[in-house]
């Protein structure tokens, strides 16, 4: 069947391999919607940060059209879009911002892809190390990890001083090549040893290419056109496969 999980993740119970990991992008991979929509909806629904929203859209919409015209890269657009989401929580305490993350998780509840969540659950069942790797805010990724059953997440870090968000993101933003480097930095900091050759990565966008390239089993999940072309050229698994 088209939406059946890939056969290679249903490993026998006695075939678990030490050091095998599974890296999952979130938006477009584990969800059919965009988590940033839920993030922005929190502020709209509560009548908050209207000036911030005008400034954010006023800056980023022109970049969106420049990207569509091919005048700037996908990486530049996504990096700025993700980094500047920190504007919205400027001045919030870590505790107050939890309402934002909880609301966002509730918003995306109807957008989870059941098929790719099944794949993630199978990796957890097999004893693999599962990491979420996304350009989204790190605290939102932690909340997402709670929802999905994994504590290991890598995302864009929002700067905090004296217990409050400053409205700035710490560089680098977790996109493009930095998805790979920040993931490896996280693993090193946590003292986690991973056999990348036997590991898996799941992602939907060309911006996720470096993350896919760092493992022996890359899977293009509901891929955009650019990623699908590369996956076909390299013989990578594409999920769902053609009927």
Q: DSSP for the chain, please give it.
A: -TTSPPGGG---GGG--TT-EEEE--BTTTBSS-HHHHHHHHHHHTT--HHHHHHHHHHHHHHHHHHHTTSS-HHHHHHHHHHGGGGGGTT-BHHHHHHHHHHHHHHHGGGB-HHHHHHHHHHHHTT-EEEEEEEEEHHHHHHHHHHHT--EEEEEPEEEETTEEEEEEPSSPSSTHHHHHHHHHHHHHHT----GGG-EEEE-SGGGHHHHHTSSEEEEES--HHHHHHHHHHT-EEESPP-
pLDDT in tens, 187-223: 999 999 999 999 999 999 998 999 999 999 999 999 9
Whether residue 93 lies inside any domain: the answer is yes
Domain count, the chain: 1
User: Residue 98 maps to which CATH number?
Assistant: 3.40.50.1000
Whether residue 2 lies inside any domain: the answer is no
pLDDT at 243: 54
Whether residue 53 lies inside any domain: the answer is yes
Least confident window among 1-10, 39-48, 204-213, 226-235: 1-10
- pLDDT(7) > 80: no
- pLDDT(77) > 90: no
pLDDT at 18: 55
- pLDDT(11) > 50: no
- What is the pTM (predicted TM-score) of this model? 0.88
Looking at per-residue confidence, does 243 or 134 come out higher? 134
Average pLDDT over residues 113-118: 96
pLDDT in tens, 137-162: 999 999 999 999 999 999 999 999 99
Whether residue 1 lies inside any domain: the answer is no
> Residue 184 belongs to what domain range?
7-239
Whether residue 157 lies inside any domain: the answer is yes
Whether residue 121 lies inside any domain: the answer is yes
- pLDDT(59) > 50: yes
């Amino acid at each position: 069947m088209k939406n059946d999980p890939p056969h290679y993740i249903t490993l026998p119970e006695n075939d678990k391999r030490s050091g095998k990991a599974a890296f999952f992008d979130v938006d477009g991979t584990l969800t059919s919607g965009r988590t940033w929509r839920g993030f922005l909806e929190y502020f709209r629904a509560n009548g908050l940060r209207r000036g911030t929203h005008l400034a954010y859209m006023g800056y980023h919409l022109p970049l969106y059209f420049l990207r569509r015209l091919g005048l700037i890269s996908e990486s530049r657009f996504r990096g700025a879009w993700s980094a500047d989401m920190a504007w919205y929580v400027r001045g919030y305490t870590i505790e107050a911002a939890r309402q934002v993350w909880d609301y966002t998780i509730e918003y995306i509840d109807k957008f989870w892809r059941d098929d790719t969540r099944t794949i993630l659950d199978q990796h957890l069942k097999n004893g693999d190390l599962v990491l979420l790797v996304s350009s989204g805010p790190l605290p939102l990724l932690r909340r997402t990890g709670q929802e999905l059953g994994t504590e290991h997440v890598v995302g864009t870090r929002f700067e905090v001083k004296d217990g409050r968000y400053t409205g700035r993101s710490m560089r680098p933003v977790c996109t493009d090549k930095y998805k790979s480097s920040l993931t490896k930095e996280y693993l090193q900091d946590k003292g986690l040893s991973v056999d990348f050759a036997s590991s898996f990565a799941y992602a939907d966008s060309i911006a996720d290419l470096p993350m896919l390239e760092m493992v022996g089993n890359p899977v293009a999940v509901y891929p955009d056109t650019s990623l699908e072309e590369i996956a076909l050229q390299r013989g990578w698994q594409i999920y769902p496969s053609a009927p």
